[in-house]
Amino acid sequence: LKLLLLKSRPCFRRGPCEDGCERRMAASRPAGSARRRKLSPVGRGWFRGLYEPEMKMPESIITATLYFDTLPSQSVLVETFEKHIWPLDRFSSTIVDEAFVPTGSPMDVAYHFAERDVEGPSAIDDYLQSVMASPLRRDRPLWQVTSLRARSGRSAVVVRIHHVISDGLGLLFAFLPTLSCDDGEVLPKIRLPAALLGKLAPPRSTSARPRAAASAPKPGCFVGIFTSVRMFFRGVLSILTLKEDGEMAFNAPKSERKPFLKFSGRHVFTRLPPVPTSAIKAVGHAHGCTFNDAIMAALAGGFRRYAIEKLQDAKVAEGKDCECKAFMLVGLPRPIDQKNPSVSLKNNILTPIFRLPIGDPSPRSRLRAVVAMCGDLKSMSYLAGIRLTTGLVTGLAPIGLMRKIASEAISKCSCNVSNLPLPDVPVRFAGQEMKDVQVLFVNNIPQITMLSYNGALHWNIVCDPQRISDPEAFGRFVLEEFQRLAEDADTTGGKS
């Protein structure tokens, strides 16, 4: 009924909006044609600031870093953006009175593009450290590109984009026309759920699936309704009844987290060694779990080992006061039009709470707990409860109340985790093959950002060194956790 009403009713907003009617009108105008569009409630939150000013949080800037053996020439890089990115409304608009307003002028190459010569990889890390929390000028379109030409080792192209333009999934779809590979189109090489691909999803193949020996009886209608209602309210309560995490050694004391944890300004970016996706898949083969199940279980083991072995945290070793939660970023479906990538640019994400079972001493038991929690995220009712609650907070609550709720919520958790799939084959950007990729984001709690690309999980952590002083050790513990899980194969024939 809701879908029928959306298709038939007129829009009573004054002017096109970021979502809803704007999506329907996009199909009737040429690709890249710009018009004034108001920010959605979520977009206003990203632009105004999601948190209390006293937290001193940096602007929400996504810093993507693409690494190359041969740096793309500046002329080809500019031409790529001029042809594929500048025609997208949000990349050629400034924000005036909380609305995207087209500049109506050619792309300002001198402002949007810069070049620097650096010594090598460590100098690139130093540059990323220096800019990751820096704001972008608000009188210009909210993005910039810097080419870092290294005298030794790999060079890099750094693309900084304000989160108000889009979330990571929308940016991935928008930049697809700039990518190429040797074997056909790039999109089919990205392992995305069919729900996110919509009509572009490949047909499901059932020929290779083994048939179950005996199927469990399906629940009755009333049981299904009861389960859906229960999961819906679990989703609502997961946001409204959020408890503070335990006072583990890698967390700030509870006294510093009340009423909210201020951004310290000490946060450091650390690029961690890539994890072969074969090591993650080995966990799935051993235990019958998914790729994301294995990742979250390894993170839980990494935090546990870091607390015990590096911080000598007796509480974690004894399993006491081990409440440890992560915000997970889950991208939601949006239109995909390869002729008009603008329709994919939006902030359509959820941030469900994920409990990391760091108090459990057994890797297999931690994985079992993670699989159960990931099962909640596959429940549409559970996600609907989270989405309703988030929508009410961002769309109807006054800006002061929204900031208060968001500030207290993020201060109660231990980390923020983002994981985005990229092509599982080598791709070219601006004429050169991309060898590595990193995305940086800054939060008041540790931010872990992961991207699976070309057979490896590329990841980093941005954290306060007073809490996690040896992030390389944390990365090593996570990698070893994958190995331990793969070796501890489940021999029962079912999911662990």
C-alpha–C-alpha distance, residues 370 and 382, integer Å: 16
Q: What is the mean pLDDT of residues 431-442?
A: 97
Q: How far does CA 143 lie from the centroid of its chain? A: 18
- What pLDDT was estimated at residue 211? 43
Among residues 187, 167, 112, 181, which one has the least CA distance to residue 338? 187
With a CB cutoff of 8 Å and minimum separation 6, the contacts of 450 are: 295, 417, 418, 419, 420, 457, 458, 459
DSSP 149: E
With a CB cutoff of 8 Å and minimum separation 6, the contacts of 312 are: 249
On the question of pLDDT at 416 being above 70, the answer is yes
For the ranges 21-30, 76-85, 175-184, 251-260, which has the lowest average pLDDT?
21-30
Got the DSSP string for 288-349? T--HHHHHHHHHHHHHHHIIIIIT--HHHHHT-S---EEEE-EE------TT-GGGG-S--E
Among residues 301, 303, 283, which one has the least CA distance to residue 291? 283
**Between vectors from CA 42 to CA 268 and to CA 354, what angle results, nearest 5°?**
55
- What pLDDT was estimated at residue 488? 84
Tokens 């820096």 sit at which residue? 134
pLDDT in tens, 114-157: 999 999 999 999 999 999 999 999 999 999 999 999 999 999 99
Angle between helices 399-411 and 380-395 (to 10 degrees): 130
On the question of pLDDT at 241 being above 50, the answer is yes
Tokens 């399993």 sit at which residue? 319
Which range of 12-16, 106-110, 406-410 scores highest in mean pLDDT? It is: 106-110
- What pLDDT was estimated at residue 397? 75
C-alpha–C-alpha distance, residues 352 and 292, integer Å: 14
- What pLDDT was estimated at residue 209? 43
Q: Please tell me the pTM assigned to this model.
A: 0.87
pLDDT in tens, 453-462: 999 999 999 9
- What is the β-pairing status of strands 353-355 and 428-429? unpaired
For the chain, what is the radius of gyration of the CA atoms? Answer: 23
- What pLDDT was estimated at residue 47? 94
pLDDT in tens, 92-115: 999 999 999 999 999 999 999 999
On the question of pLDDT at 493 being above 60, the answer is no
Joined together, the tokens standing for residue 444 give 């008041």
Strand partners, 147: 115, 157
pLDDT in tens, 31-49: 444 478 999 888 998 999 9
Among residues 265, 215, 276, 245, which one has the least CA distance to residue 416? 245
C-alpha–C-alpha distance, residues 307 and 249, integer Å: 6
Residue 243 phi, psi dihedral angles, 5° rounding: -95, 160
Could you tell me the pLDDT band of residue 28, with boundaries at 50, 70 and 90? very low
DSSP 177: G
C-alpha–C-alpha distance, residues 96 and 368, integer Å: 49
- What pLDDT was estimated at residue 210? 42
Question: C-alpha dihedral over 129, 130, 134, 140, to 10 degrees?
Answer: -110
Could you tell me the pLDDT band of residue 204, with boundaries at 50, 70 and 90? low
On the question of pLDDT at 288 being above 70, the answer is yes
C-alpha–C-alpha distance, residues 52 and 55, integer Å: 6
In 130-156, which positions are buried (b, 16+ CB within 10 angstroms) versus exposed (e)?
eebbeeeeeeebbbbbbbbebeeebbb
Largest CA distance in the chain: 67
With a CB cutoff of 8 Å and minimum separation 6, the contacts of 121 are: 150, 153, 154
Could you tell me the pLDDT band of residue 410, with boundaries at 50, 70 and 90? very high
C-alpha–C-alpha distance, residues 171 and 439, integer Å: 12
Among residues 168, 57, 27, which one has the least CA distance to residue 445? 57
59 or 1, which is more confident: 59
C-alpha–C-alpha distance, residues 306 and 311, integer Å: 7
C-alpha–C-alpha distance, residues 203 and 199, integer Å: 10
235 or 360, which is more confident: 360
Residue 92 phi, psi dihedral angles, 5° rounding: -115, 20
C-alpha–C-alpha distance, residues 150 and 317, integer Å: 44
399: left (phi over 0), alpha (psi -120 to 50) or beta: alpha
- What pLDDT was estimated at residue 208? 44
Could you tell me the pLDDT band of residue 220, with boundaries at 50, 70 and 90? low
Strand partners, 438: 65
Tokens 């979330």 sit at which residue? 167
Contact 159, 145 (CB under 8 A): yes
Helices (H), 378-445: 380-395, 399-411
- What pLDDT was estimated at residue 205? 55
